[in-house]
Amino acid sequence: MNHLLIAKEALVAQAQAINQLAHRLDGEFQSAVQVILGCKGRTVVCGMGKSGLIGQKMVATFASTGTPSFFLHPAEAFHGDLGMLKSIDVLILISYSGETEELIKLLPSLRSFGNTIIAMTGNGRSTLAKNADIWLDISVEREVCPNNLAPTTSTLATMAMGDALAVALIDALQFKPMDFARFHPGGSLGRKLLTRVCDVMHSPAPIVAPDTSFHDCLSMMTQSRLGLTLVTDNNGELVGIVTDGDLRRALLESPDVVRESVQYFMTPNPHTILDSAQLSEAESYMRENKVRALAVLGAGSGEVLGIVEIFD
């Protein structure tokens, strides 16, 4: 049995189903986005089984991209969790058949509450679709399951529709990377966008004077364990930097450099960044300029405060 061939055929079939889904989008989708944008409460997603699992993923995407949302389990809702709803909330009910009993049983209560209902089903004539204010068509020709039974293509279509809603909302809300980072402070993106240079810089920075000897400069670099040291004049102004590379190049050029002072082998006018800058800005600058460290200066004073490395 050629498992690769089966897998490829399944992926092609699913890709075609999503393409068909895109061509069927109409004014109902537009209305759904407008209703969610105008919602004064939260977008509540509800579904059973695999539809519920996809609904939870939709909620996670909505909530993290600026659309307040939570998942409501339909069985638990029927036994008291309807109290979590407010009439100003928008409901997204997911059922491929449109006849899931646990959802149908909720309809009278939701109607009495006055909630706007968006139905995601594969059957526009189903009970759920007929009782909804907006119907989003997630129908597929068949499942890629060889028996046309296990929810596969239909679940992919459902998730794709949820992502399409999320993307449309992100664009409408003008949700930016910084907004995303605020909701993801523990993630790598959050760290990059929210962390500032002053939060991670090495301070105090190792510093020597222009007339410092080669030996003393090497000693300072060894003690700091950064493999470099900054050079400041008598007024505390930054005038240079000495790195391991500077020392190696100086020694290769002339072994007698060990008798010279720092001013003869330092690199003048080192790259700098303000302590208030974002860490992502520092990282981008270092990559673009092919340097591994920046001298950190005070935003107001210009004082040398520390060093930030590409590894930070």
Instruction: Kindly report, residue by residue over 168-188, the tens digit of the pLDDT.
Output: 999 999 988 777 767 766 666
Cβ-proximal residues to 159 (8 Å cutoff; 6+ apart), any chain: 54, 57, 58
pLDDT at residue 300, rounded to an integer: 78
- CA-CA-CA-CA torsion sign (289, 294, 297, 299): positive
Residue 47: beta bridge partners?
94
pLDDT at residue 180, rounded to an integer: 73
Q: What is the pTM of this model?
A: 0.69
SS3 content of the chain, % helix, strand, coil (to 5): 50, 20, 35
Summarize pLDDT for 39-54 with one digit per residue, the tens. 999 999 999 999 999 9
Report whether 140 contacts 157 (CB < 8 A). Answer: yes
Best CA proximity match to 126, nearest among 116, 135, 118? 135
Summarize pLDDT for 219-265 with one digit per residue, the tens. 999 988 888 999 999 888 999 999 999 899 999 998 888 999 999 99
**Quick one: what percent of the chain has pLDDT higher than 70?**
96
All domains of the chain in start order, with CATH: 3-175 (3.40.50.10490), 197-309 (3.10.580.10)
d(CA 306, CA 207): 10
Report whether 229 contacts 207 (CB < 8 A). Answer: yes
Segment 77-94 mean pLDDT: 95
